[in-house]
Amino acid sequence: MKGNVWKFGDDVDTDAVIPGRYLVLNTPEELAHHIFEGVRPDFAGNVKKNDMIVAGNNFGCGSSREHAPIALKGTEISCVIAKSFARIFFRNAINIGVALLECPDTDRIDEGDELDIDLANGTINNITKGETYQANPLPEFVRGIMDAGGLIEYTRKLIA
């Protein structure tokens, strides 16, 4: 996966990802039009397929709504990299099919850096800076869920 970085800080809550007034929308594409509207109004109109979000601690804190990872999926970002994730958000994102990596070195990554990620081994290559960071690799079955597009599609493939 290669993409450019959008940088966020600590404690990005699900209301920042998708404001509550948009919870009446249900498709990834509809939600993506309003993602980060209150905190980064330029994000929805400028994010590109395969871009990446890099953040600090506790990304996805707040409510347990699935709309936040659904909105992220609608942007077609390739990955969210953070020092840590809120537990329920982490599980919801995997179930929706959003790639996540926990990495202690997110402070070394800047907005606009180009990254190349290997999810299987958790390697993050910062092409812009010529640096490599080690994230916690996800287990193979979790990557299988993400690759299938989420838990529902993964299950469909298992029983087919």
Which domains does the chain show, CATH number per domain?
Answer: 2-159 (3.20.19.10)
Q: Is 103 helix (H, G, I), strand (E, B) or coil?
A: coil
d(CA 47, CA 102): 21
Task: Give me the mean pLDDT over the 137-158 stretch.
Answer: 92
Cα gap 56→66, rounded to integer Å: 21
Does residue 64 carry a pLDDT above 80? Answer: yes
| The two structure tokens encoding residue 22 | 């948009």
Q: Distance between CA 40 and CA 47 in Å, rounded?
A: 11
pTM, full prediction? 0.95
- Contact in structure between 18 and 71 (CB atoms under 8 Å): yes
Confidence grade of residue 156 (pLDDT, cut at 50, 70, 90): very high
